[in-house]
Amino acid sequence: MVAILRGVLPPDRDFISLHEPRFAGNEWAYVKGCLDSGWVSSVGAFVDRFEGDLAAYTGVKRAVAMVNGTAALHICLMLAGVEAGDEVLVPALTFIATANAVAYCGAVPHFVDSEERTLGIDPARLGGYLTEAAELRRDGSHNRATGRRIKAVVPMHTFGHPVDLDPLLDVCQRFRIELIEDAAESIGTLYKGRHTGNWGRLSALSFNGNKIITTGGGGAILTNDEDLASRARHLTTTAKIPHRWEFAHDRVGYNYRLPNINAALGCAQLEQLPGFLARKRRLAERYAAAFEGIAGLRFVSEPEFARSNYWLNTLLLDEEMATARDRLLALTNDAGIMTRPAWTLMHRLPMFSGCPRMDLSIAESLERRIINIPSSAELAG
Ligand SMILES: *Cc1c(COP(=O)(O)O)cnc(C)c1O
């Protein structure tokens, strides 16, 4: 395994991390512009420009920049009408932020299984499960066991590979459930030619330091609904009523807006995104070729309906090889090549262990078998 990875990765490096940012464009110039202007906080020209650029790139009507992806998810759920006591369908195989955002609303995550092809929610199995577990009432679907309303589903596009959204949208329509995309890992990823994050009523992006493009910390909400976008902006600007000098607020709001200095980084990073994506695709192709025909595992390639950003490249061990996972992780990390297993499934964590869930056998199998390997754009040279 170490030898195969070495064959793909650049030589003469003591340590290769999983994912590193790259600042080779206008970052210095824009940040300097920001400092020179004095506009460093959550108002400024770079915030407006970043929002415009993001909307144009993803094809949505409006983007609203946020302080991080978790905050973006929180506001998406609130604006979709998720209330305290509701349930929200969330994959068990995800980063903690997806489930935390549900909990911030006083709602309960309801964990659903994944499919091996996309590593994300399996729409067919979810539909079958809801047919048994949910009951449609006047105000939407309710969990028969708990009585709670099932208000929304949050598919997450794992490591940049999109969930099969068309059949998932059918399930949402059938059970009157809102679709909110956790597109934190999938900027640059297309599902059937349209950008991920442009399918749900609202979607969340993340620009954390380890993501495809970074603003240091940051995120955004995407939506095609002008009214929701305006409400997102208001709610995350402490619900302050715009006025030249008065400080009046019309509800409990949040201080979730992205500072201008971070947006300056974002504008520069977004200019380089097509280049990052081309490099990441080249790296993924090299990995795919290098692991072709190797017994016991396979490289995860994009599903046939997708153009993935290959945010984090992924190896999937055969079930019989799963017991070797920790040894492979140790060997590679000891050799200075950073690798990592999947996240601990959400329902195993103490704060979410009592939450409702469907059979999670595929997610449990994936948890045992996933290994992420170095994925920085610059590794493709
Ligand atoms: C990174 C990430 C987020 C958001 O993370 P922040 O660090 O808050 O920007 C949300 N969901 C998933 C799946 C992520 O990978």
Question: What backbone phi and psi angles, to 5 degrees, belong to 317?
Answer: -75, 150
Q: What is the predicted pLDDT for the residue at 12? A: 85
Same domain, residue pair 262 and 152: yes
Same domain, residue pair 35 and 173: yes
Q: What is the predicted pLDDT for the residue at 3? A: 95
The model's pLDDT over 197-210, given as tens digits with 9 standing for 90+, comes to: 999 999 999 999 99
The model's pLDDT over 115-166, given as tens digits with 9 standing for 90+, comes to: 999 999 999 999 999 999 999 999 999 999 999 999 999 999 999 999 999 9
Indicate the number of domains in the chain: 2
Q: What is the predicted pLDDT for the residue at 324? A: 97
Whole-structure pTM value = 0.97
Same domain, residue pair 279 and 258: no
Same domain, residue pair 170 and 216: yes
Secondary-structure breakdown of the chain: helix, strand, coil percentages, each rounded to the nearest 5: 40, 20, 40
Domain span holding position 310: 2-23+273-380
| Intervals of the chain under pLDDT 70 | none
CATH, residue 339:
3.90.1150.10
Q: How far is the CA of 87 from the centre of ligand 1 (A)?
A: 20
Distances (CA, A) of 331 to 4, 91, 236, 300, 326: 13, 30, 45, 21, 9
Q: What is the predicted pLDDT for the residue at 282? A: 98
Same domain, residue pair 199 and 319: no
Same domain, residue pair 279 and 252: no
Domain final residue pick, 248, 271, 294: 271
CA 278 to chain centre: 20
Contact 300, 358 (CB under 8 A): no
Domain final residue pick, 228, 248, 271: 271
- Ligand 1 site: residues with CB under 6 angstroms? 68-70, 94-95, 97-98, 156, 182, 184-185, 206, 208, 219
Same domain, residue pair 53 and 176: yes
Q: Show the beta-strand stretches assigned E in the chain.
A: 62-66, 87-91, 108-112, 134-137, 140-143, 150-153, 178-182, 190-191, 194-195, 202-206, 219-223, 297-299, 306-307, 313-317, 340-341, 370-373
Q: What is the predicted pLDDT for the residue at 38? A: 86
Same domain, residue pair 174 and 210: yes
Residue nearest to atom 4 of ligand 1 (CA): 69
Q: Which of 325, 308, 322, 370 is nearest to 345 (CA)?
A: 370
Report the C-alpha gap between 268 and 266 in whole angstroms. 5
Domain final residue pick, 234, 251, 271: 271
Same domain, residue pair 329 and 259: no
